[in-house]
Structure 1
Amino acid sequence: MSRQAAAGPDAAVVPDAAASPDVAGSPAGPGAPDREKLFAARLHAARARPYLATALFALHPVESRRVPTMAVDRHWRCYVSPAFVARTPVEDLAGVWVHEVSHLLRDHHGRSDRVARERGLTGPAERLRMNIAADFEINDDAFGDGLVTPQDAAVPGLLGLPDGELMEDYLRRFRLGTHTEPLAWLDCGSGADGLDREWDLGPDGAHGLSAQERDAVRFRVAQGITGRPGSASKGWRRWAEEVFHPPQPWRELLGAAVRSAVSGSGAGEDYSYGRPARRSAAVPGAVLPSLRRRPPRVAVVVDTSGSVSDAELGSALLEVAAISRAVGGRRDLVTVLPCDAAARVVHPLCRAEGIPLVGGGGTNLRAGFTRALGLRPRPDVVVVLTDGQTRWPDSRPPCRTVIGLFPRRSGVPSWAEDDPDYRPDLPPEWARVVEIGSAS
Structure 2
Amino acid sequence: MTTSNPDPNPDPYPDAPGTLSPGPSPDVGPVVDVALDLDKLFAARLHAARARPYLATALFALHTVESRRVPTMAVDRHWRCYVSPAFVDRTPVEELAAVWVHEVSHLLRDHHGRSDRYAREHELTGPGERLRMNIAADCEINDDAFGDGLIQPEDAVVPGTLGLPDGQLMETYLRHVRLGLYAQHAAWLDCGSGADGLDREWELGPDGAHGLSAQERDAVRFRVAQGIKARQGHSPQGWRRWAEEVFHPPQPWRELLGAAVRSAASGSGAGEDYTYGRPSRRSAGVPGAILPSLRRRPPRVSVVIDTSGSVSDAELGSALLEVAAISRALGGRRDLITVVPCDAAARIAHPLCRAEGIPLVGGGGTDLRTGFAKALRAGSRPDVIVALTDGQTPWPATRPPCRTVVGLFPRQHMAPSWNEDDPDYVPESPPEWARVVEIGSAH
Q: TM-score per shorter chain, which class?
A: 0.7 to 0.9
Q: Which residue of 2 aligns with 1:20?
A: none
Pick closer, same or farther for the CA change 1:167–1:333 going to 2, 3 Å. closer
Contact 1:362–1:414 (CA under 8 A) maintained in structure 2: no
Distance 2:209 2:51 in 1: 29
Once the two structures are overlaid, the 10-residue window that deviates more, 71-80 or 221-230, is: 221-230
Q: Which shifted more, 54-63 or 243-252?
A: 243-252
Measure, in 1, the Cα distance between the counterparts of 2:423 and 2:82: 63
Tell me how many residue pairs correspond in the alignment.
Answer: 410
Unaligned runs of 5+ in 1: 11-29, 283-288
Are residue 131 (structure 1) and residue 134 (structure 2) matched? yes
Distance 1:412 1:98, change over 3 A: same
Equivalences for 1:181-220 in 2 at 5 Å? 181-220=184-223
Match of residue 409, structure 1, among 386, 411, 421: 411
Q: Choose from 237, 245, 255 the match for 2:258.
A: 255
Contact 2:391 2:428 in 1 (8 A): yes
Cα deviation, 1:279-317, whole Å, max 9, x if unaligned, reads 9xx9xxxxxx99987764332110112232222211212
Return the offset for 1:198: 2.0
1:277-292 aligned at under 5 Å gives the runs: none
Which residues in structure 2 correspond to 1:339-358 (within 5 Å)? 339-358=342-361
Q: Per-residue deviation at 1:247? A: 4.0
The Cα shift of 1:219 comes to 1.7
Unaligned runs of 5+ in 2: 1-24, 287-291
CA contact (8 A) 1:223 1:240 kept: yes
Does structure 1 residue 9 correspond to structure 2 residue 31? yes
SS at match of 2:305: strand
TM-score, normalising length: structure 1: 0.83
> % of aligned pairs identical?
79
Structure 2: distance between partners of 1:38 and 1:64: 14
1:417 and 1:8 map into 2 onto residues whose CA distance is 80
Q: How far has the Cα of 1:71 moved from its partner?
A: 1.0
- 1:313 is matched by which residue type in structure 2? L
Match of 1:303 among 297, 303, 306: 306
- Alpha-carbon spacing, 1:356–1:415, altered in 2? closer, same or farther (3 Å): farther
- Alpha-carbon separation, structure 2, partners of 1:207 and 1:222: 23
Indicate the RMSD between aligned Cα atoms, in angstroms.
3.2
Residues 1:143 and 2:146 aligned together: yes
> Which of the residues 173, 195, 216 maps onto 1:170?
173
Q: Secondary structure at the match of 2:39?
A: helix
Structure 1 420/90 Cα, relative in aligned 2: closer, same or farther at 3 Å?
farther
Report SS of the residue matched to 1:9.
coil
Q: 1:153 maps to what in 2?
A: 156
* 1:22-65: CA deviation from partner (whole Å, max 9, x where unpaired): xxxxxxxx854111111111111111111111111111111122
Whole-Å Cα distance in 2 between the matches of residues 75 and 344 of structure 1? 47
Question: Do 2:171 and 2:331's aligned partners in 1 also have CA atoms closer than 8 Å?
Answer: no
Q: Output aligned runs, 1:310-389, within 5 Å.
A: 310-327=313-330, 329-389=332-392
1:399 to 397, 402, 413: 402
Query: Kindly tell me: are residues 268 and 109 of structure 1, through their superposed partners in 2, closer, same or farther at Cα, counting changes over 3 Å?
Result: closer
The DSSP-based 3-state class of the residue aligned with 2:265 is helix
Query: Residues of 2 paired with 1:187 and 1:129: CA distance?
Result: 11
Q: What amino acid maps onto 1:413 in structure 2?
A: A
Deviation at 1:414, TM superposition (A): 6.1
- Structure 1 residues 58-105: Cα deviation after superposition (integer angstroms, max 9, x where no partner): 111111222221111112111111121112111111111111111111
Distance 1:80 1:87 in 2: 13
Aligned mates of 1:292, 1:218 — CA distance in 2? 39
CA distance in 2, matches of 1:203, 1:428: 50
| 2:44 aligned residue | 41
Partner secondary structure for residue 78 of structure 1? strand
Cross-structure match for 1:22: none
Deviation at 1:249, TM superposition (A): 4.4
Is 2:233 aligned against 1:241? Answer: no
Q: Find the aligned partners of 1:6 and 1:424 in 2 and give their Cα distance.
A: 70
2:431 alignment partner in structure 1? 428
Contact 2:171-2:333 at 8 Å conserved across structures: no
Question: Structure 1 residues 178, 247: closer, same or farther in 2, change over 3 A?
Answer: farther
TM-score, normalised to structure 2's length? 0.82
Contact 2:169 2:332 in 1 (8 A): no
